[in-house]
Amino acid sequence: MTTETPQTDGSRIRDALLTGSRFLLTSHARPDGDSLGSQLCLAAALRQLGKQVRIVNADPVPESYAFLPDAPTIEVAEVVKDTFDAVVVLECSSLDRTGVRGLESQTLLNIDHHAGNAMYGSINWHDVSACACAELVSDLVDALGAELTPAMATHLYVAILTDTGSFRHANITDRTFEICRRIAATGANPAMIAAEVYNNGSIGRLRVTGMLLGQMRLEHDNQIAVLTLTDGMLAEAGCASDDLEGIVNLPLAARDVQAVVFLKESEGALRVSLRSKDAVDIRQVAVSYGGGGHRNASGFTVDHPTTATRQDVIDRVAGVISRL
Ligand code: AMP
Ligand code: MN
């Protein structure tokens, strides 16, 4: 933790990156489109400037993002032993979200857009108005004086496309489209990228989607959709556990559904993803369980759930809807 005032732009982080020469980039465990796109784009910008860059995450790149340029350069490790001029932590509201050990004593550059960031960095650039961390990375690429290549534009587009729920979330602004205009101007191909991300899934994922929706429960006057996934269902469907991104959003397509509770039971623990429409702030439910995220997309893990835990989560979401 630090008492450093959060930065309103990336200038101090730019200065730290221009001064140093050896960097580590990391992001949250179970990486998503924004964490991967932001890391790969910033890494490419730094390499253009002749810097040495390693990217280390706690978990591997999911299959649906394997097409990202430079994805094979990402290392997977639970601990980092080396020291660096700085470690750039992207997309993490707290340092433990990385799932990577050995970072605590390093110079940390914290770049994030989640509400409730713990300001754990030596320099903290925290902007909740950004629709994706990639919006901040886009500014940083310019500030560093790097050139936006088609590969880097592809990284940014994947991040923005996925973190805005395919351009559906409330945090989209004119700046989002200005960045997307620049992305398209480099020659990156939005239709090809969307097809890679969304039309390239496994049959196992399709089967598990059917099972989840088939067993979906509706509560609180159809306003809460509850999806429950077990390891047994994944095995039966032949679906990888990291091949589930986006499924949680499907019940929101129904007019009546205001929130989705996605319960993932694995090896005794319960991982919960919450999604909601507009004014329904489900982040407060995630925070009440020690998690976090955004108003309409958040999550948490309960290590030792009791039989009452699942219903308690649903009751807390119902409470948020009732108080509107
Ligand atoms: P997910 O449902 O896992 O896709 O997560 C949705 C959002 O909540 C993402 O922005 C995550 O970074 C955030 N999130 C998920 N789990 C946690 C957690 N345990 N602590 C803080 N933020 C979380
Ligand atoms: Mn994000």
Closest C-alpha residue for ligand 1 atom 10: 293
- The label of the residue with tokens 């835990």 reads 309
Show the tokens assigned to 154. 């592809």
Residue ranges around ligand 1 (CB below 6 Å): 28, 93, 97, 114, 273, 291-294, 297-301
The residues placing their C-beta within 5 Å of ligand 2, an ion, are: 34, 132-133, 163
Model confidence pTM above 0.85: yes
pLDDT, tens digit, 9 for 90 and up, residues 246-269? 999 999 999 999 999 999 999 999
Nearest residue to 261 (alpha-carbon basis) of 289, 235, 239, 240: 289
Between the CA of 106 and the centroid of ligand 2 the distance, in Å, is 23
Show the tokens assigned to 35. 């964490």
29, 208 in Cβ contact below 8 A? no
Domain locations along the chain? 11-197, 203-322
Residue 214, phi-psi category: left (phi > 0), alpha (psi -120 to 50), beta (remainder): alpha
Long-range contacts for 271-278 (Cβ within 8 Å, ≥24 apart)?
271/299, 271/300, 271/301, 272/299, 272/300, 272/301, 272/302, 272/313, 273/248, 273/297, 273/298, 273/299, 274/298, 274/299, 274/317, 275/248, 275/249, 276/252, 276/317, 277/252, 278/170
Q: How confident is the model at residue 6 (pLDDT cuts 50, 70, 90)?
A: confident
Show the tokens assigned to 71. 């994805």
Show the tokens assigned to 295. 């108003």
Which whole number is the average pLDDT over 48-70?
97
Which whole number is the average pLDDT over 89-108?
98
Closest ligand 1 atom to Cα of 94: 21
Q: For strand 86-90 and strand 108-112, is the pairing parallel, antiparallel, or unpaired?
A: parallel
Selecting from 3.40.50.150, 3.90.1640.10, 3.30.70.270, 3.40.50.2300, what CATH number does the domain 11-197 have? 3.90.1640.10
Closest C-alpha residue for ligand 1 atom 11: 293
109, 6 in Cβ contact below 8 A? no
Ranges of H-type helices in 186-308: 190-198, 203-214, 231-237, 283-288
Q: How confident is the model at residue 1 (pLDDT cuts 50, 70, 90)?
A: low
109, 88 in Cβ contact below 8 A? yes
pLDDT, tens digit, 9 for 90 and up, residues 126-170? 999 999 999 999 999 999 999 999 999 999 999 999 999 999 988
Residue 4: is its pLDDT beyond 80?
Answer: no
Distance between CA atoms of residues 106 and 47, nearest Å: 21
Closest ligand 1 atom to Cα of 301: 19
Residue 37: is its pLDDT beyond 60?
Answer: yes
Q: How confident is the model at residue 188 (pLDDT cuts 50, 70, 90)?
A: very high
Between the CA of 308 and the centroid of ligand 2 the distance, in Å, is 31
- Domain 203-322 has what CATH class? alpha beta
Residue 270: is its pLDDT beyond 70?
Answer: yes
Residue 95: is its pLDDT beyond 70?
Answer: yes
Task: Please report which ligand is nearest the Cα atom of 132.
Answer: 2
